[in-house]
């Protein structure tokens, strides 16, 4: 067993444990590389068919290539797709900086989906190496009734011993990729030949390294047109993965404010 086999096995265990413990359960599909890998793992975990819905929180501002990818692969992967519109910008906390305010529409959309469908737990594709606030997460992470997250009051997870017993009524986020790195993700995409939104591959000297919506995501300078070239690029760079995310350059605490309010 190599390191990718070990990562895959651990994530499949987490997915099966979540399915066993929480009903109804759903997987959040951002259309980005991490959540596509998660769908791939879920299909492996459950013999080729994902037994819970994929939820796309739609701001109406995805790139055309992302919408085309969603429509093609929700059918090709036989997904039970829920694609609900997020609330308008006018409903968001006006004290947030502009890009964070735009991103907060997804937090409201998520809360709306939880209430509408009664999800007890949601699987998301975050990783610890992606952003400092996300490094504070647990694999099984309880949320408040208002979708809030108190990172100071999380159950410990020593030596990968997961706590899945929570008081009745607790909403839980499940993070099967928390222990993966960005390079792990691309090495796995390469090994499994997983389809990706074409915006990840360089065109005219630019590509998207972290894929968000139009207006709050910028491409990076890159000549990487293949997965092998992306991996070489990532192994050499010292730039953060989310350098192209506008919200990450706003006030110092804006991302942490979003996370504690329920952002992914």
Half-sphere exposure of 158 (CA within 13 A, CB side): 0
* pLDDT higher than threshold 70 for residue 203: yes
DSSP summary character for residue 89: G
* List of residues 6+ apart from 5 with CB closer than 8 A: none
**Taking all residues of the chain, what is their mean pLDDT, rounded to a whole number?**
89
pTM: 0.88
**Helix (H), strand (E) counts: the chain:** 7, 8
Nearest to 192 by CA among 30, 37, 6, 31: 37
Which pLDDT belongs to residue 100? 76
pLDDT value at 212 more than 60: yes
Read off the pLDDT band of 69 (50, 70, 90): very high
> Which residue did the predictor score with more confidence, 3 or 261?
3
- Does 186 sit behind a cis peptide bond, omega within 30 degrees of 0 on the bond before it? no
- Top pLDDT among 40 and 244 is at 40
pLDDT per residue over 237-252, tens digit each?
A: 988 887 766 666 665 5
Secondary structure (H, E, C), 61-88: CCCHHHHHHHHHHHHHCCCCEEEEECCC
35-39, 109-113, 167-171: segment of lowest average pLDDT: 167-171
Long-range CB contacts (within 8 A, 24+) of 186-190: 186/33, 186/227, 186/230, 186/231, 186/234, 187/4, 187/231, 188/4, 188/7, 188/8, 188/37, 189/33, 189/36, 189/37, 189/227, 190/227, 190/228, 190/231
- Residue of 99 and 66 predicted with greater confidence: 66
Q: Does residue 223 carry a pLDDT above 60?
A: yes
Strands 54-58 and 220-221: unpaired
pLDDT band (50, 70, 90) for residue 178: very high
CA distance 227 to 19: 32
> Residue 106's pLDDT is what?
85
């Amino acid at each position: 067993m190599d390191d990718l086999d070990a990562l895959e096995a651990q994530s499949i265990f987490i997915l099966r444990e979540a399915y066993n413990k929480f009903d109804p359960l759903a997987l959040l599909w951002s259309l980005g590389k991490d959540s596509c890998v998660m769908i791939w793992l879920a299909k492996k975990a459950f013999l080729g068919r994902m037994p819970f819905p994929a939820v796309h929180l739609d701001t109406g501002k995805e790139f055309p290539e992302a919408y085309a990818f969603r429509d093609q692969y929700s059918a090709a992967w036989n997904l039970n797709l829920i694609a609900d519109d997020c609330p308008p910008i006018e409903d968001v906390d006006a004290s947030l900086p502009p890009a964070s305010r735009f991103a907060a529409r997804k937090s409201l959309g998520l809360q709306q989906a939880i209430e509408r469908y009664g999800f007890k737990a949601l699987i998301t594709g975050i990783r610890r190496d992606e952003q400092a606030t996300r490094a504070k997460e647990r694999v099984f992470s309880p949320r408040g009734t208002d979708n809030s997250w108190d990172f100071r009051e999380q159950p410990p997870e020593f030596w990968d011993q997961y706590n899945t017993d929570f008081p009745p009524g607790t909403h839980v986020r499940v993070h099967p990729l928390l222990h993966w790195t960005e390079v792990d993700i691309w090495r796995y995409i390469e090994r499994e030949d997983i389809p990706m939104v074409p915006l990840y591959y360089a065109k005219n000297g630019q590509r998207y390294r972290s894929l968000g919506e139009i207006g709050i995501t910028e491409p990076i300078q890159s000549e990487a047109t293949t997965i092998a070239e992306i991996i070489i690029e990532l192994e050499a760079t010292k730039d953060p993965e989310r350098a192209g995310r506008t919200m990450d350059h706003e006030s110092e605490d804006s991302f942490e404010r979003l996370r504690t309010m329920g952002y992914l």
